[in-house]
Amino acid sequence: MSRAGATALRGEGLTRTFRSAAGEVHACVEVDLDARPGELVVVTGPSGAGKTTLLNLLGTLDRPDAGRVWVGETEVTALDEDALAEIRRRDLGFVFQSFGLIPVLSAAENVELPLRIARTDPAERDARVAEALRLVGLADHAAQRPAELSGGQQQRVGIARAIVAEPRVLIADEPTAQLDSRTAAAVMDLIVDLVHTRGIAAVVATHDPILRARADRVAELHDGRLIAADAAEPASDAAAAQPAEPAAPTQPAEPAAEGRLRRDRRR
């Protein structure tokens, strides 16, 4: 396990079987997956392949029947619910397909929620919310409610909320599935930028083949099994320090925000 120290998130031998009247579903079978700081790992495969199940196991939202999960140095498999809640709050950020915003709250208030839960000092909360909204290109939309924002903007709020507490890992389950292809590409570019510039490890499930081009690594699931784990570049230890350049960007759906973020990229 020479890479153990370098991984932000790691699953080993993850196995999850669902039992129903119809029989057993092997949603996850002995899957190994890790993500290092600054690395975007895309989990792909057809509907029903086990992507959501795997992300739930890695994100401590579900427990494996067999196998183990580490978040940073901490093995979380045997922790109780309180300890898991603390790990999720401190180390993990989640982005959902359906955005998961609270309709009556403004963009800024939605982004602020994780900090309220963590009882962050109010002055620091305001600064962090402003910074997170700036990073996703929505500084000028802080007061708007979700219904007053486009789908792409709503998902940017979702991403700002996921990163506002500075997690080491971002977990996103089909974050662009409800967006048109141009907006989807722009949102994916944003995720890539955040991962590479802020050193977050990201595991993103998608079955959109276009999004695979943005990945540092692609893990392909079929019937709960990992059938391929391709590197977009050689899977060396330099991968985290030298992230692959993203594929040529498609035309951004929200040009101002995209341009600002691309120029923020370091190196």
Please report the sign of the dihedral spanned by the C-alpha atoms of residue 189, residue 190, residue 195, residue 198.
positive
Q: How many residues bind Mg ion (CB under 5 A)?
A: 2
Tokens of 221: 């699931």
Write each residue from 50 to 89 as x if it is in contact with ligand ADP (CB under 6 A), else as -, in one continuous string. Answer: xxxx------------------------------------
Exposed, middle or buried: residue 109 (CB in 10 Å: 0-12, 13-18, 19+)? middle
CB closer to ligand ADP, 2 vs 47: 47
CB of 11 to Mg ion, least distance (A): 16
| For ligand ADP, the closer CB: 28 or 244 | 28
Residue ranges in the chain assigned as alpha helix (H): 51-58, 81-91, 107-117, 122-135, 151-163, 181-198, 209-212, 255-264
When binding is defined by CB under 6 A, the residue of 18, 118, 124, 177 that contacts ligand ADP is: 18
Shortest Å distance, C-beta 18 to ligand ADP: 3
Please identify which residue in 8, 9, 14, 27 interacts with ligand ADP, judged by CB under 6 A.
Answer: 27
Contacts of residue 218, Cβ cutoff 8 Å, sequence gap at least 6: 41, 42, 44, 212, 228, 229, 230, 232
176 sits near ligand ADP (criterion: CB under 6 A): no
- Per DSSP, what are the bridge partners of residue 35? 9
Q: Which is nearer to ligand ADP, 29 or 191 (CB)?
A: 29
The CA R_g of the chain, rounded to the nearest whole Å, is 18
Helix or strand (DSSP H, E) at 85: helix 81-91
Helix (H) or strand (E) holding 16, with range, is strand 9-20
Tell me: does residue 206 bind Mg ion (CB under 5 A).
no
52 belongs to the binding site for Mg ion (CB under 5 A):
yes
Neighbours of 103 (CB within 10 A): 8
Beta carbon nearer to ligand ADP, 51 or 217: 51
CB of 81 to Mg ion, least distance (A): 23
Angstrom distance (rounded) from CA 231 to CA 124: 39
Query: Which one of ligand ADP, Mg ion, none is in contact with 18 (Cβ closer than 5 to 8 A by kind)?
Result: ligand ADP
Q: Does residue 17 bind ligand ADP (CB under 6 A)?
A: no
Residues that bind ligand ADP (CB under 6 A): 18, 20, 25, 27, 45, 47-53
